[in-house]
Chains A and B, each alone.
Chain A
Amino acid sequence: MPLESWGRYPKARQAAVTVHWRSDPLPRVHGTLLPFGQGRSYGDCCLNDGGTLLETSRLDRFIEFDPGPGILRCEAGARVGDILAFTVPRGFFLPVVPGTQIVSVGGAIANDIHGKNHFRAGTFGRHVRRLELLRSTGERVACSPEENLDLFAATVAGLGLTGLITWAELQLRPVQGPFVESETVPFHGLSEFFALDADSSQRFEYTVAWIDPRPRGLRGLYFRGDHSTRAGKTKPPRPAAAFPLDLPAFAVSGPTVAAFDALYYARGRLRAGRRLLRHAPFFFPLDGLGRWNRVYGKRGLLQFQCVVPDQDAVQALLDRTASSGLRSSLAVLKTFGDVPSPGMLSFPREGATLSLDFPNLGPQVFALLDALEAIVHDAGGAVYPAKDARMSAATFAAAYPRLAEFERYVDPGFSSSLWRRVRGA
């Protein structure tokens, strides 16, 4: 099966070589290489059209675990879910987890992913103590905040362009058990969201909101939670049943999305209040349905995730979306804090981050995404490369001021579809 990104757009043709051993040299190929972990980035930052992907899912071995300070060294293809299955029964959790546990450590570093606790913990890259980079010269470079700091800073959020991460050493955080004390709060309107968020981020470690930006007025469900002190047995993770087929393009459209949103909101209202959840349904609700991107059919979906400084910009993005006549099939809103990342191209920065999913309907969606991108650009925000298939070189350069510095560390043997696009090359 050809490798594709989670959004299944754009399509790319490339070779793939599985890396089975971290001690192996890089394969000799014509053209450029790009590491490919679990293919959970949406656009083209994990694609290398015309080149070769280094498939890392077999680089999933643990190397060393020190239960005293909670430090795990593992190969870069190990997945967040595999790590949690190992660490939670031993009393540790990853300090930052994304919305799916089916991502590799290498991918988490290369995209410098964030979680629902950015305002406290910052990005994933902050908790990487050390990593090894295999460069196309054959050289192996150990990088950390103390050693080869520049290359470390380029590799965190480096989109896989600085070489192949073979292993990484991660700082874990203690937890008492597998549970999360969660609370669901329904709300109406953006102002209510920001008020709720200002209050919640003082009192809870994790916060995120699902929103239904319907024409009659925005409503949403605010989720907040903390690791519970309650002990309990960890259930062995079972892979979710995969969505069995590619639905036709019209499956995700205005009426079905409106119906889904109404049902999801109603369900959220019924379940409002405090609940004790296992960590998976709290952190990784979408993992409950394997390969859910097939719901969008073969043409796939486009996700747009950006960060903007304030409520006005979020309102502008939602208004523009509403006026386009298109409806986002999944909209998520949260806030970032000011915790700095070591990564030169790190996406999170203080402000509100909005993500919108659209089925790939072609030109009308592209036109809307261009308009949203312009709003983000004008507001001084940034679009997230891990979710992007469209952004222009100018938008990228404006949002990532350390780009010129970063370019010096790009391995000449590595490239990606996204990289060629955003450099205007």
Chain B
Amino acid sequence: MTRVLVLGATSAIAQQLARAYAERGAALFLVARNEQRLSAVADDLRVRGAQVQTAVADLDDPAAHEELLAGAAPLEIVFLAYGVLGDARETERSAEAAEAVLRSNLLRPISLLTRAATLLEAQRSGCIVALASVAGDRGRASNTVYGASKAGLAAFLSGLRNRLARSGVRVITVKPGLVDTPMTGHLSKNRLYTSPERVARDVIRAVDGRSDVVYTPWWWRWVMLVLRLIPEPVFKRLSL
């Protein structure tokens, strides 16, 4: 039976991913901060055929990390969907707000995944999957800090993948584009937006297959490649 630890289980993408695993009869260990929401997600997954355990925890608090991962062991698939978008304007003005984004999107994921990596390395199997973002591929004025946090996470995941390759542990970096979720609820949607169902489908395909870095939808890989190729003297003048 597949075992999946979901960090940030009430996120829209995590819910869809967990559903797909529930239909395969997986054992799910769900972690989220809001107890009512977590139990709504857990009930849904149980009805759909999963074995479910839950833990209510604020992942921003690193004191809980050690115990949480020990409780979820043995690990097999670790899915990290925990993160914040932050208010881009506010992070421009307030260093505290910028730090809070870096804490939730970079420092705490590193704390969690470092511990998970140690456990998986010892058992010489398993898979870490984490949500980075296309926003990390190149810094832009519209989400400087968020982009930096996701760029940092992507670099961390790349290093972790390199380190764990020898132990047979996989690390998958997922880079979604714009996704229609509560995180982007306040933004108006256009054709570039995709559904959390689609992202979850692409993530599962990556886990079942052999990808290391997944863009979802796939065409973001080429969009971001083009964006990265624009010379800085030109790029800095664009409004993106």
- Is B43 in the interface zone, CB < 8 Å from A? yes
Among listed A59-67, A180-188, A326-334, interface-contacting one? A59-67
Q: Chain A's nearest CB lies how many Å from the CB of B6? A: 15
CA distance A65 to B48 in the complex (A): 9
| B189 with A61: CB separation less than 8 A | no
Q: Chain B's nearest CB lies how many Å from the CB of A134? A: 14
Closest residue on chain A to residue B197 by CB atoms: A239
Say whether, besides A61-B43, A62-B43, A63-B43, A23 and B36 are in contact (CB < 8 Å).
Answer: yes
| B47 with A20: CB separation less than 8 A | no
Interface residues on B, range: 10 to 19
CA distance A64 to B39 in the complex (A): 12
Say whether, besides A61-B40, A61-B41, A18 and B47 are in contact (CB < 8 Å).
Answer: no
| B12 with A23: CB separation less than 8 A | no
Q: Chain A's nearest CB lies how many Å from the CB of B219? A: 18
- Is B44 in the interface zone, CB < 8 Å from A? yes
How would residues 10 to 34 of chain A score, 1 for a CB under 8 Å from any chain B CB and 0 otherwise? Answer: 0000000010111100000000000
CA distance A141 to B40 in the complex (A): 19
- Is B37 in the interface zone, CB < 8 Å from A? yes
List A contacts of B185 (CB < 8 A). 18, 20
CA distance A58 to B44 in the complex (A): 13
| A61 with B44: CB separation less than 8 A | yes
CA distance A18 to B37 in the complex (A): 15
How would residues 43 to 65 of chain B score, 1 for a CB under 8 Å from any chain A CB and 0 otherwise? Answer: 11001100000000000000000
List B contacts of A64 (CB < 8 A). 43, 47
Choose among B41, B47, B182 the residue that contacts A65 (Cβ–Cβ < 8 A).
Answer: B47
Q: Chain A's nearest CB lies how many Å from the CB of B190? A: 9
CA distance A22 to B182 in the complex (A): 14
List B contacts of A21 (CB < 8 A). 36-37, 40
Closest residue on chain B to residue A17 by CB atoms: B185
| 9 residue pairs, one from A and one from B, having the closest CB atoms | A61-B44, A62-B47, A23-B36, A65-B47, A62-B44, A63-B43, A20-B182, A21-B37, A61-B40
> A residues touching B (Cβ–Cβ < 8 Å)?
1, 18, 20-23, 58, 61-65, 86
Q: 11 new A-B pairs (CB below 8 Å) besides A20-B185, A23-B37?
A: A18-B182, A21-B36, A21-B37, A21-B40, A22-B40, A58-B12, A62-B44, A62-B48, A63-B44, A64-B43, A65-B47
Instruction: Show 10 A/B contacts (Cβ-Cβ < 8 Å), sorted by A.
Output: A1-B189, A18-B182, A20-B12, A20-B185, A21-B36, A23-B37, A23-B40, A62-B47, A63-B40, A63-B44
